[in-house]
Amino acid sequence: MSIEVGNKVKGKVTGIKNFGAFVELPEGKSGLVHISEVADNYVENVNDHLTVGDEVEVKVLTVADDGKISLSIKKAKERPKRQAPKKEPKPEDFEKKLSNFLKDSEDKMTSIKRQTESRRGGKGARR
């Protein structure tokens, strides 16, 4: 398999630095997995995740004109497919809920007005 952007290839970790890991690829080439591309979670120390001699699958991110190859381990992993987003409620459902809310709200406001008016002696209440 040729080393082209987007391809996944197997390689061997040949060196580890504080900024990432060097990986030997097929055809005698090598590339760098930056520390931010080692794992999905925060990586403080590359040695916690990789050791020299590890076989890894990497995804080729870029191939520069000067031959430098940028790689990613985390993007080479198969991700579980996302669940389909939930269907949005139908407009009729929303309209019905809104209508019910407004009716309940009006009923509660009417009830509150009756209670406060009777306490204040409003609307013909005897004193």
Instruction: Tell me the Cα Rg of the chain.
Output: 33
pLDDT at 53 (0 to 100): 93
Q: Which of 18, 71, 10 is nearest to 47 (CA)?
A: 18
Residue 113 in tokens: 């007005």
Rounded CA-CA distance 24/65 in Å is 19
Residue 123 in tokens: 């609307």
Q: Which of 90, 60, 89, 87 is nearest to 73 (CA)?
A: 60
Q: How big is the CA angle at 113 (ends 110 and 115), to the nearest 5 degrees?
A: 110
% pLDDT > 70, the chain: 82
Please state the pTM of the whole predicted model. Answer: 0.60
Backbone angles phi, psi at 103, to 5 degrees: -65, -45
pLDDT at 117 (0 to 100): 80
pLDDT at 27 (0 to 100): 85
With beta carbons less than 8 A apart as the criterion, state whether 69 and 62 touch: yes
pLDDT less than 50: residues of the chain: 127
pLDDT at 38 (0 to 100): 92
pLDDT at 123 (0 to 100): 59
